[in-house]
Structure 1
Amino acid sequence: MNDEVRITLRLPTDLHAWLVEQAKSARRSLNSEIVYRLDGQRSATAPQDGSA
């Protein structure tokens, strides 16, 4: 099992509502949706090996 850290996160109301809708349409929890999007962004911005 992965180690996890709990945080308190404050979001603007409209962003929260949008994330809730995205999570519902993807059949994920709000937490899973946030993790999914952050992890995807991290992967997209990670430096690629040998690309210099």
Structure 2
Amino acid sequence: MATKVLVEPKKSSRAFTDLVDFANSRLSYIPLDLMLGFFVAGVLNRFWYLYNIIGFMDK
């Protein structure tokens, strides 16, 4: 069973559902901590990139 936030065309919706079902069936092989670590690393990289491009005022 897969939940989706956005409405997608049928072809990509089916591909998404297949991907979620595959990941769900293989969850015992892939540690959830590992997947969560990659997700958090991606979010932090995005935040760090935005932080670096902000212009700071000098005294």
Instruction: Give the alignment's TM-score, normalised by structure 2.
Output: 0.35
Pick the structure with more helix per residue: 2
Q: Which has the higher contact order (CA 8 A, sep 6+)?
A: 2
Task: Find the structure with the greater CA-based Rg.
Answer: 2
